Amino acid sequence: MDAMNLLVTVDANYLRHVATMLASLRLNGGAEHYNVYLVHSDIADADIDEIATYCARLRMRLIPARLHKDDFADAPVTAYYSKAMYYRLLASKILPGTLDKILYLDPDILIINSIDGLYGTDMGSALFAAAAHTGLTDIAKHVNRIRLGTPEAQGYFNSGVMLMNLEEQRGRIKEQDIFDYVRANEDGLILPDQDVLNALYSDAILPLDDSLYNYDSRRFETYFLTSGGDKDMDWVMGNTVIIHYCGKTKPWKKNASGRFVPLYKHYMQIARRL
């Protein structure tokens, strides 16, 4: 089987959390070989060497891609967001032209079951496959549709887990379209890259089941209640593929609390031993 291609875009402060995510992937992801593309602009060579060595221990291949100050020179930036916000939106312009698809993963996630089904999703002509988190009120959905000018959108898609159809993106995603939208709407952007994803490409996103592929760790009760009690903890552990630790309080912090925080800290310990 060909290697699975993964994309992460982080700075040096998040590399240790990438290590936890990759440890959970090695233990549970299901594939034998992974290529991990790390897109960055400011990670020191020594840190790259360290994470590359760690990946090698996990039988993964790290492929770093350093962007320089002249890359995306026309991209609008502010004190609120930097050029890094464009890396995943413009992955098809950065990554090798030989890649036809890649799975983007935020560093604040755990993989607890095989990702074979997700990676093998038939995307057709869709640019992305992503999940909109369940449990948002109709008012919140309506506000986002008005705010982003997407009245027909199926939902507000989360950009933390995205299967990317790079072959389609190369012909259809234009960096100038993204830069123009950001300039015209920068005062109203709340989660900039996620807002841009939804504003420009919501009609080209294949919806994924968030309870399987982008489970919001804060919302166990929502999933449980909306499923009529079917999606209990046993269901999560047996069926959910990706748990996403959304929100400001991350599970690696000492003051973190929540139903799934002990699970994350367990994988932190495992990652240190691998």
Residue 79: pLDDT band with limits 50, 70, 90: confident
pLDDT at 145 over 80: no
pLDDT at 162 over 80: yes
Residues of the chain with pLDDT > 90, as a percent, come to 78
Distances (CA, A) of 192 to 86, 181, 197, 236: 9, 11, 9, 30
Strand ranges for the chain from DSSP E = 4-9, 34-40, 60-66, 101-105, 109-111, 128-132, 157-165, 205-208, 215-216, 242-244
Q: Say what the pLDDT of residue 190 is.
A: 86
pLDDT tens string 20-49: 999 999 999 999 999 999 999 999 999 999
pLDDT at 146 over 60: no
Q: Say what the pLDDT of residue 137 is.
A: 47
Selection from 205, 178, 32 nearest residue 104 by Cα: 205
pLDDT tens string 104-136: 999 999 999 999 999 999 999 999 999 998 765
pLDDT at 140 over 90: no
Output b/e per residue, 171-197; b: 16+ Cβ within 10 A.
eebeeeebbebbeebeeebeebbbbbb
* Measured distance CA(188)–CA(28) in Å, rounded: 39
Q: Say what the pLDDT of residue 69 is.
A: 80
pLDDT at 144 over 70: no
pLDDT at 149 over 70: no
As a whole number, the mean pLDDT across the chain is 92
Task: State the CB neighbour count (10 A cutoff) for residue 261.
Answer: 17
Q: Which residues contact 260 (CB under 8 A, 6 or more apart)?
A: 217, 220, 243, 245, 251
Q: Please say whether the beta carbons of 198 and 148 come within 8 A.
A: yes
The residue count of the chain comes to 274
